[in-house]
Amino acid sequence: ISMLAIGINNQVDEKELAAIASTPTDNFMFKIDNFDALQSIKDRLAVRTCKVPPATPAPPTPPTVNEDAVLYGNAHCGPKIPVDLKIVFDTSAIGLDNSKFIMRFIADVSDRLDLQQSQSEVGTVTNDCATKSLADVSFGSGHDREKLEQSLVGTSPSFSWMMRKLRLSFDQQEQRKKVAVVFLGETLDGAEFRKVLRETGRAKFMGIQILVVGVGTRVNSRQASFLATQANQVFFALSYDIIDELEGPLLLQICTLN
């Protein structure tokens, strides 16, 4: 807001007047002897008013997310900010069939995320036991099937190793929001869990937002909660063939990240 300050008669404190007026004060501060003298500065006031710079327009309001349509329907949603999303799962532990359920899940989530419009990207972090072909998984527009297939590469079944690989897979100079969805299918032993916590802490320090999906009855819910960035970013399913039930809640979390 630009302020024009007018002091009338010689009783006005010039310092107070200058404090009220916008800068430079030569353009926005006026002193006159009496009210009759207002006529003498009206032209100068008109010129100054017309030269006041226009207010900076407010930034565009991001589109609102219809939460019910995302949670219970098939509505698409775009992240508020561009995201680099990585899906982490241990194929050596869950097997080929369950890996395909996850890849189907990735394809469906990707289709509803409006990747091109939001300038976002989806990839995977896993180990060497993954299926090397996604021929039986259909993808919508905006996806690079070959790039996803090539990302299914690794050399170790260790979960902590995969968490380290996740951290290193992100470009630290990347301006997009770094997000990871980690599938957990069993309770980790004490030594391995400590290693995973260390890698998770490093990832969070880098600004990586971690969402955890626990699948099956062998998952330790306390461990899952420790790995997630926030308490409301932990999800559970009884088996891999019904993880599609988590599609809406997970989408809503990703689309409302700040």
Tell me the pLDDT of the chain averaged across its residues: 81
Q: Are 222 and 192 in contact (CB under 8 A)?
A: no
207-223 pLDDT, tens digit per residue, is 999 999 999 999 999 99
Share of the chain above pLDDT 70, in %: 81
pLDDT at 26 (0 to 100)? 78
Query: Does position 74 have pLDDT exceeding 50, yes or no?
Result: yes
pLDDT bin (cut points 50, 70, 90) of residue 140 is: low
Using CA atoms, how far apart are residues 121 and 176, in angstroms rounded to an integer? 9
pLDDT at 137 (0 to 100)? 46
Range among 27-36, 90-99, 144-153, 217-226 with highest mean pLDDT value: 217-226
Q: Reduced to 3 states, what is the DSSP secondary structure of residue 232?
A: helix
Stronger pLDDT, 91 or 160, i.e. the higher one = 160
Decide which of 3.40.47.10, 3.90.950.20, 1.20.1250.30, 3.40.50.410 is the CATH code for 67-255.
Answer: 3.40.50.410
157-211 pLDDT, tens digit per residue, is 588 988 999 999 998 787 889 999 999 999 999 999 999 999 999 999 999 999 9
Residues linked to residue 214 through DSSP beta bridges, in sequence order: 184, 236
pLDDT at 61 (0 to 100)? 57
Q: Where are the alpha helices (DSSP H) in the chain?
A: 14-20, 25-28, 38-51, 67-72, 91-112, 115-118, 145-150, 159-169, 190-205, 221-227, 247-255
Delimiting residues of CATH 3.40.50.410 domain(s) in the chain: 67-255
pLDDT at 152 (0 to 100)? 45
* C-alpha 96, offset from chain centre: 31
Mean of pLDDT values over 22-30: 80
Using CA atoms, how far apart are residues 47 and 27, in angstroms rounded to an integer? 10
Mean of pLDDT values over 72-94: 87
The answer, as to whether pTM is greater than 0.75, is no
Query: Does position 129 have pLDDT exceeding 60, yes or no?
Result: no
Token digits of residue 38: 């207002």
pLDDT bin (cut points 50, 70, 90) of residue 7 is: confident
